[in-house]
Structure 1
Amino acid sequence: MEIYVSTDVETDGPIPGPNSMLSFASAAYTAGKDLVGTFSANLATLPGASGDEKTMAWWATQPRAWAACRADQQAPETAMVRYRSWLVELPGRPVFVGYPAAFDFLFVYWYLIRFAGSSPFSHSALDIKSYAMAVLGTDYRATTKRAMPRSWFDDLPHSHVALDDAIEQGALFCNILAANPRRVP
């Protein structure tokens, strides 16, 4: 059985290494939209890394989310080893799900390899926008949240707090999964 691990990251720049992942969270869902567990951690910044000027200017507009991602920081090596263990203990094979997967997976994969030595996700990630594009039969750039059916969205916050966003995006993914007429449950 696959477990869909909706994951959101908060960072201080566009790439890992020169920039740091400040916070990340995952919400693990079954295909039937049962939330089987969550994981979240705020991380200390990487030695020698610094915040990107544009990203830090955006953070200045998000004081509540900034405070949330800087509380109770852990060393990346501690958090990523705990996270890898959590993934392995899920009641099925973990599938990374992100919005956008290319950005979130980049950081999570890099941090898992760097600090935990391996990734239970292997080299793959499922992008919610790309999946919505396939279900809707639309062009990629036309597939925006504003253009998606309202029935796909639960009344959940998108606050730029990693756990809130992971839960919200995971529910969105499960709703799209359920709406796919070509999917055999």
Structure 2
Amino acid sequence: MVEKKEIFISVDIETSGPIPGEYDLLSIGACFIDSPNETFYCELKPVSNNADPEALSVTGFNLEKLAEDGLNPILAMKEFGIWINDHINENEIPIFVGFNASFDWSFINYYFHKYLGKNPFGFSALDVKSLYMGRFCCKWTDTKSSMISKKLSPLLKGNHNALQDALFQAELFRLVQKTLHIGS
């Protein structure tokens, strides 16, 4: 069996609350780590209409406006899946990369399974915060994006727009990877 080449995809989301199924996935942003100009972005219609006011204040989304302008979740997940598959060949495997990946992956996994029956990323994700913690032997509290930015000096910043944040965390991932190759 031929080992598949791993293709790292930075994914960020914005939601209406803390857990999938109870709250809605509102936007998805993604880019390829090694080709950050290859991007995906969409906003989704809410399905539960449950919202944590704090989550909405962070995202700036209005559920009524998304109900009018957002994509139906089935269409959004189909388009995201097509975007992934259009950039992955049969000898490659997509790897989900997130910043606090467990949160973002949980919504993406839930929505892919609920609306399409399968998740092209499989059952796992790579977390930039954990990678950074392992590389620099720091405390978990030192893995905030502001702390990582002080150490690695990325050009980009996060702003709670899913695409901008996907690009930002892709840069953080590349900067951590770069430190792993120094002196090797």
The TM tier, using the shorter chain, reads: 0.7 to 0.9
Q: Distance in 2 between matches of 1:117 and 1:183?
A: 44
Q: Which residue of 2 aligns with 1:77?
A: 74
Q: For 1:13-28, what aligned pairs fall within 5 Å after superposition?
A: 13-28=17-32
Q: Please report the TM-score for the alignment, with normalisation by the length of structure 1.
A: 0.83
Deviation at 1:151, TM superposition (A): 5.7
User: Which residue matches 1:167?
Assistant: 167
Post-superposition shift, 1:149? 5.9
Residue number in structure 1 paired with 2:45: 44
- The structural deviation recorded for 1:86 is 1.3
* 2:15/2:55 contact within 8 Å kept: no
Measured after TM superposition, the shift of residue 4 of structure 1 is 1.4
Residue 88 of structure 1 aligns with which residue? 85
8 A Cα contact 1:112 1:119, kept in partner: yes
Residue 110 of structure 2 aligns with which residue?
110
CA distance in 2, matches of 1:94, 1:36: 17
Give the distance between the partners of 2:149 and 2:58, measured in 1 at CA: 29
Work out the CA distance in 2 between the residues paired with 1:13 and 1:170: 24
Q: Report % sequence identity.
A: 29
Letter in 2 for 1:66: F
Distance 1:133 1:57, change over 3 A: closer
Letter in 2 for 1:85: I
d(CA) in 2 for partners of 1:66, 1:111? 19
1:29-60 CA-to-partner distances (Å, cap 9, x unmatched) read 22xxx3251111100011xx2333xx323533
SS at structure 1 position matched to 2:170: helix
Asked whether the equivalents of residues 152 and 172 of structure 1 are also in contact (C-alpha less than 8 Å), the reply is yes
Structure-2-length-normalised TM-score: 0.83
Residues 90/56 of structure 1: CA separation in 2 closer, same or farther (3 Å cut): same
Report which stretch shifted further, 173-182 or 142-151.
142-151
How far did 1:141 drift? 3.1
Q: Cα deviation per residue 1:62-85 (whole Å; 9 max; x = unaligned)?
A: 6xx426x93831000011011112
RMSD of aligned residue pairs (Cα, Å): 2.4
**SS of residue matched to 2:23:** coil
Secondary structure of 1:25's aligned partner: strand
